[in-house]
Chains A and B, each alone.
Chain A
């Protein structure tokens, strides 16, 4: 090889060496063999050919060739290290492709509401109990001071299974059952299903969830009642939600109350959801009627208490903007999947 061609070849090798920095693993192997291969490597050939040159040329070209070899070896080593790092990233795999998800399930939104309500009341000493859906007239009506020959009974159009035997029209029978079984202090929340002869439509179900609450002890007052409900509302909704108590009539409480909360949609300025009142009715409540204590064998002079009942379906619909209550009883995966915890 002439000096001239050796110099040219050295420049060509340097040019090829520049590719090392961007070569992938396969190309790197090819480049290594092509340039540094023991038998046919181009730089190896140049170094072998040095012996044929005169000393001055050997010194100059030899220095250049050896420098190039060191550079090339370093570049290949660096590239190899770099390639090893990028494995699992862009080079071998496109990390932007979707990861592998798992199926996730969800509690029904109504169950989620029930659990949340019960958990909030637990903070102020309430425990969680349940009762039977098949009830007697005694527990569903009589013990709760609801006389069947009074128009107040008409509010609850009831399914009957037999003489005196019915599907509970509210969860309130558990008030009586609990008072008969346990001495005060009683603080319970009672979720469960209730049945009424309502035709199925966008806002009514013949079977619906209800959540009952009862507190009985010595010295409980209307102030305690208001505070407990306010405690719940401010935690379930937001801390600044206004709560309004209005007189209302339920035979098993007195004073009776309807509890409204500030509309969560318009924050009280009035919208279609709250029928422009700025408030939404969320529960019926009040102080336990002394007749109920008497019917359950408790001393109505000694004990006082409060009770409340609310509809978790309605609350779930408000919370999630569900327009039709029938969506809650249709096991549609597209609907249920929306309530996966995120």
Chain B
């Protein structure tokens, strides 16, 4: 919401400092997003009195003016025809900088030196009129800065107003808040040369007339109150400068005096109004009713709108003339030829307006305010001020009182407030009279009743419906700063930590310890044609139409990105949710995953290794996968698969996968390996201490010939079984293929130990013999001949 500082000053009856106003409003809940001094680019322009106008000696269309600047009289060449001696105009001397940043140079026009420029409204950014020089009707002396001479100097504050505070969408509402903190009363600014206040509206229940128009509400749910005033004999034309300046200050475009007057009231009192051309309303009637099937309207913006039965329409005898609360119709628009007006001042149901503006995709200043809730109780006063303003700026008469169709008059809402509840919630006692004072400051009236306060809520505060809303008002108006910062005793949380978060922390420690960096990629992707991906019904971009079902693709793209910047060594992991819509399932599912990718050097390049350490290979990823699965995966085993390894749970399901990955790889880059794993927080019993061996171990290395199809895992199973309790561990430490070996040879180091004695060589030989015999029988594995 744009607020004019000078408008606020007029309401509070004293000059205001923009920075202080912004600070006070911020501390009341409506911070300014920007503070913009207006027309600062006119600082060099002054009032110039044209003393003499002569024809330019060398040009028919130009004149030569003598301009009195208060200090000197300068010769100025002018191209406009409306300049007359004895009148005052905006004058920019040589050296002045005009809006748009143009600096005025001394120059000679057709042989005559011009020592400045008389300016049009457009040149000053004050309007679109470029035909003539802007004539000034001012008492200011020549040489007075234009900003002082015209009501231009102003500051615009762009307020960020919460959706609960429609009252702050008008200047009076903002002034009311400031008045409460400054201790100033709010009064509506006097309108220069004001016509008398409009006549008091005459209330009817359903239907009634006013000066030639008959009004009836059929849709009382959509429109519970409608006031129509008739003004005859207006002259539509431009608005006076003060009115245009007010509208420009809030960023609105002046249109004509009638429309400008209604907009002025909107920005001042937060009540949208609409003026119809009475002559264009057929049958002399206004009916407020739901749209009928198939009805259409051409709105002011020239669009043809299809209407539906849940929209409230303002109709004449033949059809819709306005979309109630949203936008007027083009047919009955006020135009240059309009002489008789119907002025509408209505209340529209916020929810209805919201639906209508969504259906029509049309947000207007009116719909924005009606959707948030206007003040139904203030409408009678609003219409009287509006009629007065229109008559002031456009002339005309109001011959009969406006008709006020108001089937069920609304009574002010009453809310009870317990003073002790204020202390209970705010943590600090606030005296009852102070509570009442704060509430009264912004228009609430309160009276004690059975130990509580009976508070009447003003019509402009639809947000206040229960006790806590009043407590917030007390806190807000007292000021949040008034409450102490005091750490008081508390009870610790009864909610346990989520174990999955502890697991995430453990996995981050594991992987960063391995040298991997944590990535956070966007979980959105393009849907493709996979039926199991979770699609977004209302995506904002073609690239982001679905949720990821795996973390790895984005990490592989991350590797490719690093390659694109010549970064060869890439080590990344991510922990995040992935999504799937399993076939036949009604609901999408989400699972927490961990994924990692590795490419490039396994160690940091160093002079001792020729600055070219070996690259990661598939064994690195196998170990990381197995370690991560043990730490954070579901129960299961890492088993060999066709193209790497999978984590298989006891029921045979695949819960993770590791191996080489394909990527768009430049020749100089290393291969990419990676894994992805479902995470599951499981009970992890504390580590049980194993007694440290005090007897010496005996080591034996055995080289075994593994026939085709036999894998190390199988050999190790036999080693464990046949090695008995004496075999402490068995580790494969070498693999050989090549000359002298038919197939593959793998060597194991076997470590034997008895807990209670030193093993004798012959004991170990016996066990090794048993192992070899068992290997031969079970797997056809024999010792490699030396």
Q: Which residues of A contact B (CB under 8 A)?
A: 97-98, 100-108, 110-111, 115, 124-130, 132-134, 149-152, 154-155, 159-162, 165, 167, 178, 181-188, 191, 193, 197-200, 205-207, 209, 215, 217, 219-224, 226-228, 230-231, 243-249, 251, 254-258, 287, 289-290, 304, 328-334, 336-337
B493 touches A152 (CB 8 A): no
Instruction: Tell me which of A159, A185, A231 contacts B492 (CB under 8 A).
Output: A185
Is B690 in contact with chain A by the CB < 8 A criterion? no
B480 touches A247 (CB 8 A): yes
B604 touches A128 (CB 8 A): no
A184 touches B494 (CB 8 A): yes
Is B606 in contact with chain A by the CB < 8 A criterion? yes
A333 touches B603 (CB 8 A): no
Give Cα A109 to B456, complex, Å. 51
Contacts of B355 in A (CB 8 A): 149
Instruction: Please list 26 pairs of residues, one from A and one from B, whose beta carbons are closer than 8 Å in the complex, sorted by A's number.
Output: A102-B515, A106-B518, A128-B498, A129-B495, A129-B497, A130-B498, A133-B590, A152-B163, A165-B588, A167-B536, A181-B495, A185-B494, A187-B495, A198-B540, A200-B541, A206-B524, A248-B29, A251-B164, A254-B468, A254-B469, A255-B475, A289-B468, A290-B468, A330-B561, A331-B521, A334-B567
Give Cα A197 to B565, complex, Å. 31
A124 touches B163 (CB 8 A): no
Known A125-B492, A152-B164, A333-B562: A100·B498 in contact at CB below 8 Å: no
A160 touches B538 (CB 8 A): yes
Contacts of B603 in A (CB 8 A): 100, 102-103
A106 touches B588 (CB 8 A): no
Specify the chain B residue showing the minimal Cβ separation from A217: B491
Give Cα A199 to B541, complex, Å. 8
A187 touches B492 (CB 8 A): yes
Shortest Cβ gap from B471 to chain A (Å): 7
Contacts of A133 in B (CB 8 A): 577, 579, 590
Known A162-B537, A205-B522: A255·B163 in contact at CB below 8 Å: no
Give Cα A98 to B608, complex, Å. 9
A217 touches B555 (CB 8 A): no
Known A223-B484, A246-B26: A290·B466 in contact at CB below 8 Å: yes
Is B572 in contact with chain A by the CB < 8 A criterion? yes
B354 touches A130 (CB 8 A): no
Known A130-B498, A223-B483: A105·B567 in contact at CB below 8 Å: no
A154 touches B163 (CB 8 A): yes
Interface string of B551-565 (1 = CB under 8 A from A): 000110010011001
Shortest Cβ gap from B744 to chain A (Å): 32
Contacts of B427 in A (CB 8 A): 221-224
A224 touches B488 (CB 8 A): yes
Q: Which residues 659-680 of B have a CB within 8 angstroms of A? A: none
A333 touches B487 (CB 8 A): no
Give Cα A223 to B577, complex, Å. 37
Contacts of A244 in B (CB 8 A): 481
Instruction: Tell me which of B162, B495, B537 contacts A249 (CB under 8 A).
Output: B162
9 pairs of A and B residues whose beta carbons are closest in the complex: A103-B515, A221-B427, A223-B427, A249-B162, A331-B558, A247-B29, A331-B519, A105-B512, A125-B492
A257 touches B480 (CB 8 A): yes
Is B539 in contact with chain A by the CB < 8 A criterion? yes
Residues of chain B at interface, number, CB under 8 A: 96
Give Cα A223 to B579, complex, Å. 42
Shortest Cβ gap from A66 to chain B (Å): 49
Specify the chain A residue showing the minimal Cβ separation from B354: A149
A161 touches B517 (CB 8 A): no
Is B31 in contact with chain A by the CB < 8 A criterion? yes
Given contacts A103-B514, A206-B544, 10 further A-B contacts (CB under 8 A): A105-B513, A111-B518, A128-B501, A129-B498, A182-B495, A221-B424, A227-B486, A247-B29, A304-B424, A329-B520
The interface residues of chain A, by DSSP majority, are classed as mixed
Shortest Cβ gap from B461 to chain A (Å): 13
Give Cα A296 to B519, complex, Å. 36
Known A134-B579, A332-B561: A186·B541 in contact at CB below 8 Å: no
B540 touches A102 (CB 8 A): no
Contacts of B472 in A (CB 8 A): 247, 254-256
Is B725 in contact with chain A by the CB < 8 A criterion? no
Contacts of B28 in A (CB 8 A): 247
Shortest Cβ gap from B165 to chain A (Å): 7
A127 touches B495 (CB 8 A): yes
Is B426 in contact with chain A by the CB < 8 A criterion? yes
A130 touches B500 (CB 8 A): yes
B518 touches A98 (CB 8 A): no
Instruction: Tell me which of B371, B513, B554, B570 contacts A151 (CB under 8 A).
Output: B371
Contacts of A186 in B (CB 8 A): 493-495
B31 touches A246 (CB 8 A): yes
Give Cα A73 to B567, complex, Å. 59
Specify the chain B residue showing the minimal Cβ separation from A341: B512
B518 touches A334 (CB 8 A): no
Give Cα A186 to B495, complex, Å. 6
B483 touches A222 (CB 8 A): yes
B540 touches A221 (CB 8 A): no
Contacts of A334 in B (CB 8 A): 565, 567
Known A152-B163, A221-B425: A226·B483 in contact at CB below 8 Å: yes
Shortest Cβ gap from B508 to chain A (Å): 6
Specify the chain A residue showing the minimal Cβ separation from B602: A103
Instruction: Tell me which of B494, B521, B536, B608 contacts A161 (CB under 8 A).
Output: B536
Contacts of B512 in A (CB 8 A): 104-107
Give Cα A184 to B495, complex, Å. 8
Is B587 in contact with chain A by the CB < 8 A criterion? yes
Contacts of B567 in A (CB 8 A): 332-334
Contacts of A336 in B (CB 8 A): 517-519, 572
A247 touches B587 (CB 8 A): no
A247 touches B475 (CB 8 A): yes
Contacts of B540 in A (CB 8 A): 197-199, 206
Shortest Cβ gap from B421 to chain A (Å): 9
B475 touches A151 (CB 8 A): no
A227 touches B487 (CB 8 A): yes
Which of A111, A215, A255: most chain B Cβ within 10 A?
A: A255
Contacts of B5 in A (CB 8 A): none
